[in-house]
A and B are shown apart, each in its own frame.
Chain A
Amino acid sequence: ETGVTQSPTHLIKTRGQQVTLRCSSQSGHNTVSWYQQALGQGPQFIFQYYREEENGRGNFPPRFSGLQFPNYSSELNVNALELDDSALYLCASSAPGRGLDEQFFGPGTRLTVL
């Protein structure tokens, strides 16, 4: 069984640019959640996708957007990058409809905005 994978591992962008981060969910999982973890902080919930639709959103501006594909993999897009967007971005997959509500996390993507 393949775990949650994320790409890329590290990314460096400049302010104002756009970035796309990718997440492949664990086999059989249909729900993906994204979290932002700033240095020295706990993860903050960005949003969740279930069956290709956004199904809950945290306190993040609209320039944070996402997609979920038919195979349940997901993308996080961030437009107009700001310095404060520098963080570790984690995705987590789960299958709540199948009694598997534990969230399994990927290793994260470290984004640095210069």
Chain B
Amino acid sequence: AQTVTQSQPEMSVQEAETVTLSCTYDTSESDYYLFWYKQPPSRQMILVIRQEAYKQQNATENRFSVNFQKAAKSFSLKISDSQLGDAAMYFCAYRESSGGSNYKLTFGKGTLLTVNP
């Protein structure tokens, strides 16, 4: 079974600085998707960024970027120019590439990010 591990229960960063959240996963599949979701205190899970395993290029969305190391099964999230609104719980998630029941997401336990003014 696939597993997702986030080894940092909590992280903090100064406003305008850069922070990196770590994620490792275990799978025997060669094609899959990886995601970072943000869950603010409002509880609504919001997709931050996604990476398709067959793509070599690391995904980027504005201030958010990933470092995807397929061989090492590592998928870290870098947040640049951190803003107060970035404070939230961040979850790393895995999904197999095919459809049907494989649309289930497997989540890590999350990293609570605090942004200090």
Contacts and interface: CB of A to CB of B under 8 A. Distances in A.
Given A41-B109, A43-B91, A58 B104 contact: yes
B105 A43 contact: yes
A65 B78 CA distance: 39
Per DSSP, chain A at the interface is strand
User: How big is chain B's contact interface, by range?
Assistant: 20 to 34
Given A42-B91, A96-B99, A102-B50, A48 B104 contact: yes
B35 to A, nearest CB: 9
A81 B100 CA distance: 29
Given A48-B104, A56-B101, A103-B105, A42 B44 contact: no
B103 A107 contact: no
B103 A33 contact: yes
A92 B37 CA distance: 13
B25 interface: no
23 contacts: A40-B109, A41-B109, A41-B110, A42-B4, A42-B108, A43-B45, A45-B106, A55-B100, A56-B100, A56-B102, A56-B103, A57-B101, A58-B104, A92-B105, A97-B99, A101-B103, A102-B47, A103-B103, A105-B37, A105-B46, A106-B44, A107-B44, A108-B43
